[in-house]
Amino acid sequence: MAHLSYLGVLLFIVVGTGWLEVVLRTRVYRRWKRLLLSVAPLVALFVAWDLYAIARGHWTFDADRTTGVLFPGDLPLDEVAFFVVVPIAAILTLEAVRSVKGWTVGDEVEPEAPR
């Protein structure tokens, strides 16, 4: 079970933010196309950063506490999952704040005419 430690932390984040979708009606997962478009550039950028950091030895992962599934460049599956889970949690939080406080975030108006 120890090798699921990293994924366990991620599960905590998914569960810890998932209720916002239901109770505060954030409607983030429901807008999955917009979510996909938002997360994709982050996965690309932060995977690149991660690959650089792994290659340079900035950080290492405990083989006993991660799944052991590695992508090319010794990138753990757990890390890729992190770059999906954390941005979704951030977006859920922003929409939860909007839901509760009624504050604007900047997407309420029509966009400016095409440049």
Partner 1 sequence: MTYTQLGVLAVAGTVVLDLWILRTRLLRRRAFWLSYAIVVFFQLVTNGLLTGLRIVRYDAAAILGDAQPVFIGAGRIAYAPLEDLLFGFALVTQAMAWWVFWGRHGVQRTPVAGPPRRWVTGGVLGTPPRDDGPAPGGSGDDQAP
Q: How far is CA 52 from CA 11, 57, 115, in A?
A: 26, 8, 36
Residues that bind partner 1 (rule: CB under 8 A) add up to a total of 61
Look at residues 58, 54, 92 and name the one whose alpha carbon lies nearest to residue 76: 54
By CB under 8 A, what part of segment 47-86 binds partner 1?
49, 52-53, 56-62, 65-66, 83, 86
Q: Give the integer Cα–Cα distance in Å for 31 and 59.
A: 34
Contact 56, 50 (CB under 8 A): no
Shortest distance (Å) from residue 18 CB to partner 1: 13
Which residues would be at the binding site for partner 1 (CB under 8 A)? 5-6, 9, 12-13, 16, 23-28, 30-31, 33-35, 37-39, 41-42, 45-46, 49, 52-53, 56-62, 65-66, 83, 86-91, 93-109, 111
